[in-house]
Amino acid sequence: MKAFFVTLFALVVSNGSLSAAIIEKAYEYPSGNVICEGWQCYDNALNVDKRPGVLVVHQWTGISDHEKEAARKLAALGYNVLIADIYGKGVRPQPPEAGKVAGKYKGDRPLLRTRVNDALKALSQDPRTDASRLAAIGYCFGGTTVIELARSGANVKGVVSFHGGLDSPTPSDGKNIKAKVLALHGADDPYVPAKDVAAFEAEMKTYKVDYTLIQYPGAVHSFTHKAAGNDNSKGAAYNADADRDSWSRMASFLKTTLGR
């Protein structure tokens, strides 16, 4: 594993009196014969040897500023954060190519699970991580991915999907889920049909998964992405209320699940 350029900056935490020194850096790790380039964030001022680890999984274009902003905020809350690189180093497609690349992994769930589990392994082996306290969150494509991580039977305490796909080609894999699951979903998301939502809930209930599904009325796909604009008719748009509430629910979920 190799870490390249490092950025250090001061971040004022929400109580206004505590400053955190957030280190962020590129973070390479292997997945089979592919080199992946993730992104790590942690608070260097935190006076602990190990801390809970949170894996963040990117949307369809690969690691972007959106995930990095989330990682910084999570690091300020006391987590060791790694943004997974599902696609591999240097693969950062833009639309419409991003749809083809994301589709490759959605169509090959074993490959998707391998890539995300290798990222989780890298996070768990980092010296700052308490490997007994791991969780994963993901956006859009990443939301789909973290649920697949749970379906793979990974030893994570919890997973959080933000406007991710909820479908599964093998619903019986719900039996493998050990994690608590929080799915944050736009009730008007045209890319996640009602039948997928119903099938997801049936899967969770059938296998007695500890899950919560929150559906935001008036929210469509990508509701946490400011860059998505505000035109719901396009199917993807930012929703400030859903963004705010979903982050709050995620933070509370991680605090309860990971004990921090």
The mean predicted confidence, pLDDT, of the chain is 93
Tell me the domain boundaries of the chain.
Answer: 47-258
- % of the chain surpassing 70 pLDDT: 92
Whose structure tokens read 């497609």?
93
Q: How many CB atoms lie within 10 A of CB 218?
A: 13
Chain-centroid distance of CA 241 in Å reads 20
Kindly indicate the confidence band of residue 259, based on its pLDDT and cuts at 50, 70 and 90.
Answer: confident
**pLDDT above 90 (res 93):** yes
38 CB-contact burial (10 Å; exposed 0-12 / middle 13-18 / buried 19+): buried
Instruction: Summarize the chain as % helix, strand, coil (round to 5).
Output: 35, 30, 35
**pLDDT above 80 (res 143):** yes
Taking phi first (over 0 means left), then psi (-120 to 50 degrees means alpha), and beta for anything else, what does residue 11 get? beta
Kindly indicate the confidence band of residue 19, based on its pLDDT and cuts at 50, 70 and 90.
Answer: low
**pLDDT above 80 (res 1):** no
Give, for 241, the enclosing helix (H) or strand (E). Answer: helix 240-258
Question: Going along 140-193, which residue ranges are E strands?
Answer: 158-162, 180-186
pTM reported for the whole predicted model: 0.92
Kindly indicate the confidence band of residue 3, based on its pLDDT and cuts at 50, 70 and 90.
Answer: very low
Lowest mean pLDDT among 16-25, 112-121, 158-167: 16-25
pLDDT tens for residues 169-209? 999 999 999 999 999 999 999 999 999 999 999 999 999 99
pLDDT mean over 237-244: 98
- pLDDT, residue 241, reads 98
Question: Going along the chain, which residue ranges are E strands?
Answer: 3-12, 19-31, 34-43, 51-57, 80-84, 129-139, 158-162, 180-186, 211-216
- pLDDT, residue 11, reads 40
In degrees, rounded to 5, the angle at the alpha carbon of residue 246 between the alpha carbons of residues 119 and 148 is 35
The CATH number assigned to the domain with range 47-258 reads 3.40.50.1820
